[in-house]
Amino acid sequence: MVEWRTCLSVAPGQQVYSGLWRDKDVTIKCGIEETLDSKARSDAAPRRELVLFDKPTRGTSIKEFREMTLSFLKANLGDLPSLPALVGQVLLMADFNKDNRVSLAEAKSVWALLQRNEFLLLLSLQEKEHASRLLGYCGDLYLTEGVPHGAWHAAALPPLLRPLLPPALQGALQQWLGPAWPWRAKIAIGLLEFVEELFHGSYGTFYMCETTLANVGYTATYDFKMADLQQVAPEATVRRFLQGRRCEHSADCTYGRDCRAPCDRLMRQCKGDLIQPNLAKVCALLRGYLLPGAPADLREELGTQLRTCTTLSGLASQVEAHHSLVLSHLKTLLWKKISNTKYS
């Protein structure tokens, strides 16, 4: 039995609630409009809720449903050798009543779940330490671990007020109301590890397409947890949207909020490669999160490394060694400051 508590939705079309299930704090999500996807495809017709449960259209064999699921995952995650293992997980999930067969109703329910961007990401990143764990599901409703603490207290302010806060005041709020600097360093290390996890994982590469502190969360022990995976997208999905899209300038080649590709002005078409990799965007975020209140003996070197990191450009796969080096230097710098203390 699930006990529903507070509504956590911050946007129209979202249904997110806190709750209690089996004596655990959980987050309940259902009927969520795909925020990132709708922004990315604003020219597409609105998707009716009924469409989520449109497949399979009839009773089907396990073999047929396996092939159908594999085709869907290939389209969304890319043609990866690891996908059959993920399909196996989906088939186990589809057997809701554990009778070793998948009924038409069960197939329709799990198909509806797979259409949810965040659910697909949770399934793909279940082995990753910094993604919330999936706890239960039914129809297109699913439960995850309880909402982590927010990293940016000003994020709780009404959206209309946030742009009115001067950067200096935002920094002061973070310093006064947020965790102590060593805890922030620990959270930042987790965020950098999450960037590593998104790059060349078991089920492909993923892009962070809305990089804000509002999506940075942490547990009671200050371990980083991604607060919202709806703004993370598989590389295959982003490339399919961008490649060949008509454009006049790079702003026309934007998936989500900040996954942006160059515009070939001669051909008037978007290219498939992103201008900024995940790491550069995260480092830009960390400059405002880590530099205020940083220890005096660390501030200059930390500022230099973060500036260097924000200038990274191009696909991470093309400059993989450079990205790994920059990321490793940053993690080492922060760990040296907090290791062998109560903060580590």
Res 49 pLDDT > 70 = no
Q: What's the confidence (pLDDT) of residue 153?
A: 46
CA distances from 105 to 53, 102, 121, 142 (A): 9, 8, 23, 16
Lowest mean pLDDT of 125-139, 175-189, 306-320, name the range.
306-320
Structure tokens at 194: 């999450």
Q: What percent of the chain has pLDDT over 70?
A: 80
**Residue at 64: amino acid letter:** E
* 143-147, 178-182, 302-306: which is most confident: 302-306
Mean pLDDT within 15-31: 85
Res 298 pLDDT > 90 = yes
Residues 224-282: pLDDT tens digits? 988 788 889 999 999 999 988 999 988 999 999 999 999 999 999 998 888 889 999 99
- 274-280-281-285 Cα dihedral, nearest 10 degrees: -170
Note the pTM of the prediction, 2 decimals: 0.83
Confidence of residue 8 (pLDDT cuts 50, 70, 90): confident
DSSP 3-state helix, strand, coil percentages of the chain (rounded to 5)?
Answer: 45, 15, 40
Residues 142-175: pLDDT tens digits? 898 887 776 544 444 545 555 666 656 655 665 5
Q: What's the confidence (pLDDT) of residue 219?
A: 86
CA distance 289 to 122: 26
Q: What is the fold of 2-31+58-145?
A: Phosphorylase Kinase; domain 1 (3.30.200)
CA distance 338 to 180: 12
Which of 252, 278, 281, 256 minimizes the C-alpha distance to 267? 252
Q: What's the confidence (pLDDT) of residue 45?
A: 37
**Chain-wide mean pLDDT for the chain?**
82
Q: What percent of the chain has pLDDT over 90?
A: 34
Q: What's the confidence (pLDDT) of residue 184?
A: 92
**What are the helix (H) ranges across 78-159?**
83-94, 104-114, 117-124
100 Rama class: left (phi>0) / alpha (psi -120 to 50) / beta: left
Q: What's the confidence (pLDDT) of residue 227?
A: 79
- Cβ-based neighbours of 146, under 8 Å, separated by 6 or more: 18, 24, 25, 26, 27
Q: What's the confidence (pLDDT) of residue 47?
A: 44
Q: What's the confidence (pLDDT) of residue 44?
A: 40
Residues 118-139: pLDDT tens digits? 888 888 888 788 888 888 887 7
Q: What's the confidence (pLDDT) of residue 270?
A: 94
Residues 52-96: pLDDT tens digits? 667 787 777 888 899 999 999 999 999 999 999 999 999 988 888
Residue 13 belongs to what H/E stretch?
A: none
Res 35 pLDDT > 50 = no
Residues 322-336: pLDDT tens digits? 788 899 999 999 999
Q: For the chain, give every domain's residue range.
A: 2-31+58-145, 150-159+166-340
Mean pLDDT within 15-21: 86
